[in-house]
């Protein structure tokens, strides 16, 4: 059951309208807590957007569906345990909701309950059955810190050091700046995307990657799982990657799940190889539209 509604600030709403809106919000929260997109999707407009703090905005119900399905896949629990405050801005068609959320991550050996205070901004017209936008503001670090990590044979200090390396590597990846990213690669490293030809040597990787990075306005990795194979010197990392393409007048955020295999020994500062398994077609399709002048459709 969703938590009981708190006293609400609802200037301009009749008691009847307020009761109807709180009933809708109760059903919205119950569907969200189910972690079942098939229950929640009816509350979202086809052209709705979703944005978490300063992360890229996702636009359209299909993109939002992919995000939530991926997000729910690594959660054991997602629950609104308490609604602390609710304010209706009827003129701007906004609902501000301060809430206490509870998360539990699949595979967490400590089965920790993570409590987070959050502010949600729900873009919804009074009487409407769907939202046109949803903003969420909260500190995601307590959740990120409990990313599923499998590291048999590593000490806690080693795991912490490797996590720091991975965080910095991903930050420089997302910078789209080879002058930052290049320092993490050995001179004889290789990169390979799926079944495309392997590119060998740091200079060749730079020549290949700089044009690829140049077509992007934004790239952002959200890591969901990390597994270390210490004997083989491999790190398996699953992510949800958000892209935006330069020149796309629609400003679309493209989300794609991916798996990277990083060839790096524990304690080393550079990688020897980088395998990427991802569907590149969604990005390629938008790039093609932009090049053909159809990015504004």
In sequence order, what DSSP letters do the residues of 93-151 get, joined into one string?
Answer: TEEEEEEEEEEEETT-TT-PPEEEEEEEEEE--TT-SSEEEEEEE---HHHHTT-EEE-
Comparing 8-144 with 148-291, is the CATH topology the same?
A: yes
- Asked whether the predicted pLDDT for residue 145 surpasses 70, the reply is no
Q: Summarize the confidence of residues 248-263 as an average pLDDT.
A: 93
pLDDT tens by residue, 177-233: 999 999 999 999 999 999 999 999 999 999 999 999 999 999 999 888 899 999 999
Predicted pLDDT at 112: 86
Question: Is the separation of the CB atoms in 265 and 233 below 8 Å?
Answer: yes
pLDDT at position 255 over 70: yes
Which CATH architecture describes the domain 8-144? Roll (3.10)
pLDDT score of 294: 64
For the segment 106-142, what is each residue's pLDDT rounded down to a tens digit? 777 678 899 999 999 999 999 999 999 999 999 877 7
pLDDT value at position 140? 78
Separation between Cα atoms, residue 66 and residue 41, nearest integer Å: 11
* CATH fold for domain 148-291: Nuclear Transport Factor 2; Chain: A, (3.10.450)
Give the pair of three-digit tokens for residue 295. 């990015």
Contact 248, 284 (CB under 8 A): no
Scanning the structure block, which residue is given the tokens 């978490």? 52
Q: Is the pLDDT of residue 291 over 80?
A: yes
pLDDT in tens, 153-178: 898 889 889 988 998 999 999 999 99
Q: How much is the CA Rg of the chain, to the nearest whole Å? A: 22
Instruction: Give the integer Cα–Cα distance in Å for 84 and 66.
Output: 29
Residue 254 binned pLDDT confidence (cut-offs 50, 70, 90): very high
This prediction's pTM = 0.63
Domain segments of the chain: what residues? Answer: 8-144, 148-291
Long-range contacts of 66-73 (CB under 8 A, 24+ apart): 66/255, 67/240, 67/255, 68/37, 68/40, 69/37, 70/224, 70/240, 70/255, 70/257, 71/240, 72/35, 72/36, 72/37, 73/224
**Whether residue 241 has pLDDT greater than 70:** yes
């Amino acid at each position: 059951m969703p938590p009981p509604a708190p006293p609400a600030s609802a200037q301009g709403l009749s008691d009847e309208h307020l009761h109807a809106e709180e009933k809708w919000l109760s059903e919205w929260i119950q569907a969200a807590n189910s972690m079942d997109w098939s229950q929640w999707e009816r509350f979202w407009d086809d052209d709705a957007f979703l944005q978490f703090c300063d992360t890229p905005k996702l636009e359209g119900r299909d993109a939002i569906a992919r995000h939530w399905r991926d997000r729910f896949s690594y959660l054991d629990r997602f629950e609104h345990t308490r609604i602390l405050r609710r304010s209706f801005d009827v003129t701007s068609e906004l609902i501000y909701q301060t809430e206490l959320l509870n998360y539990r991550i699949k595979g967490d050996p400590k089965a920790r309950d993570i409590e987070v205070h959050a502010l949600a901004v729900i873009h919804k017209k009074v009487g409407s059955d769907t939202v046109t936008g949803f903003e969420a503001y909260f500190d995601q670090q307590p959740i990120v810190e409990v990313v599923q990590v499998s590291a048999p044979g590593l000490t806690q200090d080693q795991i912490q050091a490797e996590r720091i390396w991975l965080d910095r590597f991903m930050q420089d990846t997302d910078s789209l700046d080879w002058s930052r990213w290049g320092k993490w690669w050995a001179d004889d490293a290789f990169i390979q995307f799926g079944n495309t030809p392997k590119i060998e040597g740091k200079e060749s990787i730079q020549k290949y990657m700089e044009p690829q990075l140049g077509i992007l306005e934004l790239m952002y990795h959200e890591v969901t799982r990390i597994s270390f194979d210490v004997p083989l010197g491999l790190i398996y990392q699953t992510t949800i990657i958000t892209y935006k393409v330069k020149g796309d007048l629609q400003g679309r955020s493209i989300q794609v799940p991916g798996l990277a295999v990083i060839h790096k020994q524990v304690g080393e500062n550079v990688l020897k190889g980088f395998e990427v398994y991802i569907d590149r077609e969604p990005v390629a399709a938008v790039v093609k539209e932009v090049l053909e002048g159809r990015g504004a459709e």
